[in-house]
Amino acid sequence: MRVLSGVKPTGNLHIGNYFGAIQQFVELQHKYEGYYFVADYHSLNSNPEPQNLKKNSMDIIMDYMALGLDPEKSTIFLQSSVPEVVELAFLLSNVTSMGLLMRAHSYKDQQAKGLVPNVGLFYYPLLMAADILLYDSNYVPVGKDQKQHLEITRDIALRFNQMYDDEFFIIPEPMILDTVSVIPGTDGQKMSKSYGNTIEIFAPEKQLKKQVMNIVTDSTPLEEPKDPENCNVVKLFKFFADEAAVAEMKTKYREGNYGYGHAKLELFEGIKKVFGEARERRVELAKNTEYVQKVLNEGSEKARYTAIKKIRKIKKKMGLVGNIYK
C-alpha cells in the first residue's frame, strides 16, 4: 500500500506543520510505502521569487530528514523533477468539467477576497489529482481543509475509469489528519504562514524564543489568578509536556504570582526539548549538502521511474502514440 503527500515550499516549517502532518508521515513510513515530495510546481501560482523557491525547496528536504523521514523507507523527491505530472494534469483536464474546478475552495476563496485567480490556481486541483494518481497512491494524508481536493481527485479518477477502463486508476482514500486539534498560532488563530503567526521548528534559538514570547495573552497582572483554559500558551504547552506538567502549569495560573512570561519560558524549554535532536540533525544536514542532494536525486529518479511507467499506460489507454513510450 502506498501513501503520498507533499508540502509547498512557501517558507520555514513550523510546529503546526509537524503536529498537523509531518509527525504522521514519520509514523506512517513504518507501515506503508511512502512517497513524500516538495510541491514546488504548486507554489508557482503565488509567483515566488526564484531564489526563495530554490532555497525553500532544499530547506524542506532537510527539514523532512531532520524530523525523521528515512530515505531508506520513504521516497523523498521534488515535484518538478517529474515532468510527467504536468503532462498527466493536462490529460486529466480533458475528462474534467469546468464546474468541478470552479467549486474548489482554492478558487472560490480567492474570488471571495475580490482577487482574480490565475490559471495556475484554478488548475491546482488537477495538478493535485495528477500528483496522486500518477503514483497509484492508495492513501493520501490530508487535513480537513484539503479533503475537498481529494474528493475532486476521486471524481476525476472515477470519470476516467468510466471512459476508458473501470479499474485503471486506483481510487485514493483520504487519511484525515485529525489526531490533534488545531494548532494555535501566536495570535490564537490557526498557525499558518499566511497569518504570520508561526513558531518555526528550526529557527535560531534567539529567534525561536522571540516567537514564543510574542504569543498574545491578556493583561492580567502577575499576582492575580489567570484562566488556563483560554490561554494560547497553555494550549501550545499541551503539545510539549505530559499531563502532570500541564496540570501543574494550570494550578500555577489559578494560584496567581505566576506570569505569562514564566509560562512562555516553560513552553520555550519544552519546544527545545522535543525538537532538540531534530534541530541538531538539521544543523548537520546543512553542513552536508552533497548527501542531501544525493538523497533528493535518488528519490526523484525513483519517483520518475514510477511515473514514466504509469504515463506510458495512460497514453496508450487514451490512444496516444509517442516513440519515447514504445
Q: List pLDDT tens digits, range 274-315.
A: 999 999 999 999 999 999 999 999 999 999 999 999 999 999
Mean pLDDT of the chain: 92
Question: Are residues 134 and 266 located together in one domain of the fold?
Answer: no
Q: Which CATH number belongs to the domain containing residue 160 in this structure?
A: 3.40.50.620
Question: Are residues 132 and 254 located together in one domain of the fold?
Answer: no
Instruction: Quick: pLDDT tens for 197-245.
Output: 999 999 999 999 999 999 999 999 999 999 999 999 999 999 999 999 9
Q: Which CATH number belongs to the domain containing residue 244 in this structure?
A: 1.10.240.10
Instruction: Quick: pLDDT tens for 46-100.
Output: 899 999 999 999 999 999 999 999 999 999 999 999 999 999 999 999 999 999 9
In a domain, 195, yes or no: no
- Mean per-residue pLDDT for 139-162? 88
Give the model's confidence band at 324: pLDDT under 50 very low, under 70 low, under 90 confident, else very high: low
Q: Supply the pLDDT for residue 175.
A: 86
Instruction: Please report the DSSP string for 261-287 in residue order.
Output: HHHHHHHHHHHHHHTHHHHHHHHHHHH
- Mean per-residue pLDDT for 161-168? 91
Q: Supply the pLDDT for residue 148.
A: 84
2-7, strands of its sheet edge to edge: 74-78, 33-38, 2-7, 139-142, 173-176
Give the model's confidence band at 142: pLDDT under 50 very low, under 70 low, under 90 confident, else very high: confident
Strands (E), 107-212: 139-142, 173-176
Q: Give the three cell numbers for residue 233.
A: 500558551
Q: State the Cα–Cα distance between residues 33 and 137, nearest whole angstrom.
A: 9
Q: Supply the pLDDT for residue 178.
A: 57
* CB distance 216 to 185 below 8 Å: no
Confidence check: pLDDT of 325 > 60: no
Confidence check: pLDDT of 321 > 90: no
DSSP 8-state secondary structure symbol assigned to residue 184:
B
Confidence check: pLDDT of 323 > 80: no
* CB distance 213 to 205 below 8 Å: no
Question: Are residues 140 and 165 located together in one domain of the fold?
Answer: yes
Strands (E), the chain: 2-7, 33-38, 74-78, 139-142, 173-176
**How many C-beta atoms surround the C-beta of residue 148 within 10 A?**
15
Picking from 5, 8, 19, the residue whose alpha carbon sits closest to that of residue 59 is 8
* CB distance 78 to 37 below 8 Å: yes
Q: Supply the pLDDT for residue 177.
A: 65
Q: State the Cα–Cα distance between residues 143 and 300, nearest whole angstrom.
A: 25
Question: Are residues 122 and 252 located together in one domain of the fold?
Answer: no
Q: Supply the pLDDT for residue 104.
A: 86
In a domain, 193, yes or no: no
Confidence check: pLDDT of 10 > 80: yes
Total tally of structural domains belonging to the chain? 2
Q: State the Cα–Cα distance between residues 41 and 45, nearest whole angstrom.
A: 8
In a domain, 191, yes or no: no
Question: Are residues 162 and 81 located together in one domain of the fold?
Answer: yes
Q: What is the span of the domain harbouring residue 123?
A: 2-183+289-325
Q: Give the three cell numbers for residue 239.
A: 503539545
Question: Are residues 159 and 26 located together in one domain of the fold?
Answer: yes
Instruction: Quick: pLDDT tens for 176-201.
Output: 765 456 799 999 998 988 889 999 99
* CB distance 89 to 312 below 8 Å: no
In a domain, 282, yes or no: no
- With residue 32 as reference, give the H or E element that holds it: none
